Structure 1
Amino acid sequence: MLSLAESMDALRTIASSKAVATLAAAFSEQGHEFALVGGPVRDALLGRAVTDLDFTTSARPDETAAILKGITKNVWDVGRDFGTIAAKVHGETVEITTYRAEIYRDDSRKPEVSYGDTIEGDLVRRDFTINALALMLPELKLVDVSGGVEDLLAGTIRTPGSPATSFTDDPLRMMRAARFAVQLGFEVAPDTQGAMVEFAERLDIISAERIRDEFVKLLSTDDPVPGIRLLVDTGLADRFLPELTELLTTQDDHGRHKDVYEHSLTVLRQAIEMELVRRDPETTEADIVLRLAALLHDIGKPATRRFEAGGVTFHHHDVVGAKLAKKRLRELRFDNDAVKRVARLIELHLRFFGYSDQQWSDSAVRRYVRDAGGELEQLHILTRADVTTRNKRKAERLEHAYDDIEQRIAELSEAEELAAVRPELDGAQIMELLQIPPGPLVGRAYKYLLEVRLDEGPIGEEAAEERLRAWFAEQGDN
């Protein structure tokens, strides 16, 4: 954290910006209190970059909208029912929320909102003390009603009041505790963590979409593993991702196989490290598909574990895991494309390990690329990250083998345009050549030519026509 003088300088810099100064003056002229609140104040005090500007005011939403329309044409509702109006002022996007208090009833998935009259009352209802900070504008008065500055100094995540009350009011705050702990490198206070255990079941009233969004925020951090551990240890993960906590059941005190839970966290961490190295410099967003696949790649193991002579097996855990992941991610309302891609990566994550035992033919390499599709680069990362063995010689052998397969893919891609593997003839050409109408036979013919392409590489259109005629002649009346 910055020194007091440095912190105040950082806050003054924000307050003096054209957008903030304009807003503060406009609300003050109408007789309303106005303050920068929450994350921007926290981050300024910590010396972190301030990217979002959130404000609170004594003005009601209609009054806020009227004031904003007096200084900008770009005004819109973010959540008027929750008291929030957004605007673009001098190039800055801002959100302004009326002082409020909200509470979740026992059977409610949405908070009931009532408006407050004081900044102190607004701050007390916020999630954590480090976010219950406000800078009153334009007077530059820092308001801290619950010891947020002290908790910033101590690196502590704590609720402003009773954690039981806070988590009962908004159960999603329990997941946010894990995220903030990771983002800031803080520790969750013991009583706060204890309440997360006690009220974990309360998370069930929160909508799947809100849980998904909060989990994605956690996964998007540079190292989400400590936060994931906290979610598992408190029982929160079991409420929305039980397949993850189920991995704990595969821990083996007799040393017959590695700890699948710890292995999965290691794979996630290694995948993120590789993602950050390989990521396009212009890309700033985390690869959530890759991270989900890394975390969940072994969730099929508990259901497939079998103790056999000589050890333990997890036959087909890749296929089972892909099905489990697809079902769970759909329940969490991930979009269909993301669900499909995560499942594909999980299903393919073991494919490479046969290559390390016996080098593949060109045909096998083509199929590997074909099956990976648009997730080939992510599959490269996931497969490399899945190597967590402590046997240095084995790790080096696997690394060299994967270096080799990536090199072969690059060489074949350059020679054959491997990323767009398709037969020399398309459906229309097949129908014209064979004089057949649209139907299943066209699909079978196309599939036959694709297999030829995968097995032999490009053979040219003329040779493809000859092979197709020969194949068609063998089909008889089918």
Structure 2
Amino acid sequence: MTEAEARREFAAEVVRRLRRAGHEALWAGGCVRDIILGGEPADYDVATDARPEAVMEMLPFPSIPVGIAFGVVRVRHPRIRGIEVEIATFRSDEAYVDGRRPKGVIFSTPELDAARRDFTINGLFMDPETGRVIDHVGGLADLRGGLLRAIGDPAERFREDKLRLLRAVRFAARFDLHVEPATLAAIRSMASEVLTVSPERIAQELRKMLVHPSRDRAMDLALDVGLIGVIFPPLAEMRGLFQGKPVQPEGDLWDHAMLVLRLLGPRPSFPLAFAAFVHDVGKPSTRSRHHGRTSFHSHDLAGAKIAERFCRLLRLSNAERERITWLVAYHQYLGEAKKLRESKLKRILAEPGIDELLALHRADALASTGITEQVDYCVYYLEHQPSGPINPAPLLTGHDLARLGLEPGPGFKSILDTVREAQLEGRVQNKREATEWVEHFRATGRWPAVWHADALDDAVSPPVDGAGRQS
């Protein structure tokens, strides 16, 4: 039995046990929607008339009272780790007071339970034993008609939980649905209120959108309804900034970003997808014209600063923030990889995030010129390492310099960096040569221009001061 089959069977077993105990029980919400659309639900929810205390007492499965005041209990598969079913008592909600949760619930009926949900496609129930769909809100007709429609008054649904503004975008993009006109109008009129949602919840929705193959459709819709302009104002400025890229001669900067997102492949990581989304966000603020030509000098560095602000705004983890800003800062670095010095190429190819940087470079190249020659060269270099290992162990350390009699200080880093560069370029082959080179520098105050030990007395470059700086 596959994990998906085990998950489905466990959800069916929960329903069977509740029914044997005399209760009404049905699959509810997103799992029903996914089954109707021919997909495999990632998880299952069960709705029942049993109260949460009774659920925990009658089911012989490990249970977690995740929201018992709201009638919600989660049960775990007794043998397979990671398989859980959320069970909620049929309910209607009291008034929402914080734009997220009702102040209380009233246990009720399937009809009222469906009416409290967000969108008609999420308000369906299913009998897992017969496959019969129970529809109190018109969700089946909307699925067949390709519509995303809020249940009841759209403005009221969005006032209850402002995150639904983003969820509407995600569902419409993921399932390729048109947003029903009244629902669309409510999203546009209330877009500014999304900022009342916590940054962590906004980030969670963006994460779900950006890692999914529909990511570019989701971002296009989010821009169209005004959510991007509210959450990330600098990104909205990319619309209307035309570049004349060979691949999109009539497209603007936003169109380019969407094409890069689309070209990432089916399942990029969130840091890669977010970096691709914002990689050119520095262009509007760095745009200038000289002699009739438009340039965006240092837009990569400007973009990295803006990306870091976005990451802090969303309260992403340090690891994600650092990876995203690094990807944005270096998204052009390998554009002329074949011309890079060997040491610079090896250093960047040795970075932990190089696979994602190459994926971003490839998507950007395909969306700009359609030519991936530079990225292909980097991939070849990584696979074949024509000039030796990409990231060999350093030949010298600070301890080695101290043993040679050098005073610890700021000059250490300069010396070690220079030796490392020579090592990566193959001009210093081993520790003996590196040590003799440092001893030559210490004795003469000059850097050797020829790096092998048997040529240390030949051509030299300008003298340096005691800290390792050229004078």
Q: TM-score, normalised by structure 2?
A: 0.84
**Which residue of structure 2 aligns with residue 282 of structure 1?**
none
Q: In the aligned structure 1, how far is the partner of 2:228 from the partner of 2:168?
A: 13
Match of 2:346 among 356, 366, 383: 366
Q: CA deviation at 1:108?
A: 4.6
Q: Which runs of 5+ in 1 are unaligned?
A: 1-12, 277-284
Match of 1:56 among 23, 44, 47: 47
Q: In the aligned structure 2, how far is the partner of 1:263 from the partner of 1:235?
A: 19
Q: Percentage identity across aligned positions?
A: 30
Q: CA deviation at 1:180?
A: 1.4
CA contact (8 A) 1:431 1:442 kept: no
**Which residue of structure 2 aligns with residue 384 of structure 1?**
362
Deviations 1:226-265 (A, max 9, x none): 1111100000122222222121252479x99951111111
**Which residue of structure 2 aligns with residue 316 of structure 1?**
298
Partner secondary structure for residue 23 of structure 2? coil
Amino acid in the other structure paired with 1:24: V
Deviations 1:295-336 (A, max 9, x none): 111000111011222221111000000110011112101111
Q: How does 1:386-465 map to 2 (within 5 A)?
A: 386-387=364-365, 395=370, 398-412=371-385, 415-418=387-390, 420-434=391-405, 436=407, 440-456=410-426, 459-465=429-435
Q: CA deviation at 1:132?
A: 0.3
**Which residue of structure 2 aligns with residue 210 of structure 1?**
201
Q: How does 1:49-448 map to 2 (within 5 A)?
A: 49-68=40-59, 71-72=60-61, 74-89=62-77, 91=80, 92-102=83-93, 105=96, 108=99, 110-136=101-127, 142-248=133-239, 250-251=241-242, 259-272=252-265, 276=266, 286-355=268-337, 359-370=339-350, 373-387=351-365, 395=370, 398-412=371-385, 415-418=387-390, 420-434=391-405, 436=407, 440-448=410-418
Please tell me whether residue 47 in structure 1 is matched to residue 38 in structure 2.
yes
Q: In the aligned structure 2, how far is the partner of 1:465 from the partner of 1:14?
A: 63
Q: In the aligned structure 2, how far is the partner of 1:452 from the partner of 1:210?
A: 48
Alpha-carbon spacing, 1:336–1:80, altered in 2? closer, same or farther (3 Å):
farther
Partner secondary structure for residue 161 of structure 1? coil
Q: If you compute each CA radius of gyration, which structure gives the higher value, 1 or 2?
A: 2
Partner secondary structure for residue 431 of structure 1? helix
Alpha-carbon spacing, 1:477–1:266, altered in 2? closer, same or farther (3 Å):
closer
Name the count of aligned residue pairs.
Answer: 439
Amino acid in the other structure paired with 1:399: T
CA contact (8 A) 1:103 1:169 kept: no
Q: In the aligned structure 2, how far is the partner of 1:384 from the partner of 1:262?
A: 17
**Which residue of structure 2 aligns with residue 9 of structure 1?**
none
Amino acid in the other structure paired with 2:36: L
Deviates more, 1:453-462 or 1:128-137: 453-462
Amino acid in the other structure paired with 1:446: L
CA contact (8 A) 1:35 1:136 kept: yes
Q: CA deviation at 1:60?
A: 3.1
CA contact (8 A) 2:288 2:296 kept: yes
CA contact (8 A) 1:111 1:170 kept: no
Q: In the aligned structure 2, how far is the partner of 1:17 from the partner of 1:196?
A: 34
Deviates more, 1:199-208 or 1:77-86: 77-86
Q: In the aligned structure 1, how far is the partner of 2:95 from the partner of 2:286?
A: 40
Alpha-carbon spacing, 1:31–1:15, altered in 2? closer, same or farther (3 Å):
farther
Q: CA deviation at 1:141?
A: 5.7
Please tell me whether residue 466 in structure 1 is matched to residue 436 in structure 2.
yes
CA contact (8 A) 2:97 2:103 kept: no
CA contact (8 A) 1:102 1:169 kept: no
Q: TM-score, normalised by structure 1?
A: 0.82
Amino acid in the other structure paired with 2:160: D
Structure ranking higher in helix proportion: 1
Please tell me whether residue 19 in structure 1 is matched to residue 1 in structure 2.
no
Q: CA deviation at 1:134?
A: 1.0
CA contact (8 A) 2:101 2:160 kept: no
Alpha-carbon spacing, 1:34–1:458, altered in 2? closer, same or farther (3 Å):
farther
Q: CA deviation at 1:365?
A: 2.1
Deviates more, 1:24-33 or 1:155-164: 24-33
Q: CA deviation at 1:355?
A: 4.2
Q: CA deviation at 1:364?
A: 3.7
Q: Which runs of 5+ in 2 are unaligned?
A: 446-463
Amino acid in the other structure paired with 1:311: R
Alpha-carbon spacing, 1:366–1:89, altered in 2? closer, same or farther (3 Å):
closer
Partner secondary structure for residue 84 of structure 2? strand
Backbone CA RMSD of aligned residues: 3.1
Deviates more, 1:420-429 or 1:312-321: 420-429
